C-alpha cells in the first residue's frame, strides 16, 4: 500500500506573487474616465498597441495618460495620437518621445468598418483604457459621438436619481 501524501497545495496560487498587478494584467495601466462624460460611447473594440521597449516599461509602471488622446485612420492604418507616455526614468539615449504617434493593430475589415463610420458627422475614435493581456499591450477604443452641454446635465441628473433610489432602498432594507 502506497503512503499517502500530506503535502497541501494552494488551489489558486498566483503565478508570480512579486509581479505588479498592472504588468500581470489584473489592473488597467491607464483609464480615460473623462471619455464617458464628454462622449456617448457607441461601440467598443480592442486593438493591439505597437510600443518601444522603454514605452512598455513606462506603461507597466502606470505612467500613461489617455485624457487627450484620439484615434485616426490614415492610409488604411489606425493610429493613436496625443497619448502621453512619460519617458522611462532609467532609460538611456534611446528613450522614447512622450507624445509619439503610435500604431494600433486591428484587422483590415475592422478598419474599413471604422473608416466608414468615422466619416459620419460627429463620430470619432476615443481610447477608453490601456491594459496588458497575455503580456501584450492592448488598448480599448470606442466609437463615440460628442455630447452637448444639455446631454451632460441630463446624464448627471440620471446618475443622481439612480444613486438616491439605491440609497433609499438600502435605508428601507436596514429599517425592516
Q: Locate the domains of the chain by residue range.
A: 21-146
- What is the model's pLDDT at position 124? 87
**Top-confidence residue, 15 or 100:** 100
Q: CA 158, 160, 161, 166: dihedral to nearest 10 degrees? A: 120
Q: Is the pLDDT of residue 13 over 60?
A: no
For 1, which DSSP code?
Answer: -
Separation CA 165–CA 76 (nearest Å) = 48
Q: Which of 81-85, 96-100, 104-108, 121-125 has the lowest mean pLDDT?
A: 96-100
pLDDT cut 90: percent of the chain above it: 11
- CATH homologous superfamily of 21-146 equals Small protein B (2.40.280.10)
Q: Is the pLDDT of residue 22 over 80?
A: no
Separation CA 8–CA 110 (nearest Å) = 49
- What is the model's pLDDT at position 167? 92
Find out whether 118 and 141 touch, Cβ atoms under 8 Å.
no
- What is the model's pLDDT at position 127? 92
pLDDT, one tens digit per residue, over 77-94 is: 989 898 888 888 777 777
Q: Is the pLDDT of residue 165 over 90?
A: yes
Q: Is the pLDDT of residue 164 over 70?
A: yes
Amino acid at each position: 500500500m502506497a503512503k499517502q501524501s500530506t503535502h497541501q497545495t494552494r488551489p489558486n496560487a498566483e503565478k508570480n506573487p512579486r509581479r505588479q498587478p498592472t504588468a500581470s494584467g489584473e489592473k488597467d495601466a491607464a483609464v480615460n474616465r473623462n471619455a464617458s462624460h464628454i462622449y456617448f460611447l457607441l461601440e467598443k473594440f480592442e486593438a493591439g498597441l505597437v510600443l518601444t521597449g522603454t514605452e512598455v516599461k513606462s506603461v507597466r509602471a502606470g505612467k500613461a495618460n489617455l485624457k487627450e488622446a484620439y484615434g485616426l485612420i490614415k492610409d488604411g492604418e489606425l493610429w493613436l495620437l496625443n497619448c502621453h507616455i512619460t519617458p522611462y526614468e532609467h532609460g538611456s539615449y534611446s528613450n522614447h518621445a512622450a507624445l509619439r504617434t503610435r500604431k494600433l493593430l486591428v484587422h483590415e475589415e475592422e478598419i474599413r468598418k471604422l473608416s466608414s463610420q468615422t466619416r459620419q458627422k460627429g463620430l470619432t475614435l476615443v481610447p477608453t483604457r490601456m491594459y496588458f493581456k497575455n503580456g501584450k499591450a492592448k488598448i480599448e477604443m470606442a466609437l463615440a459621438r460628442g455630447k452637448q452641454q444639455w446631454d451632460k446635465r441630463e446624464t448627471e441628473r440620471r446618475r443622481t436619481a439612480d444613486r438616491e433610489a439605491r440609497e433609499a432602498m438600502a435605508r428601507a432594507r436596514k429599517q425592516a
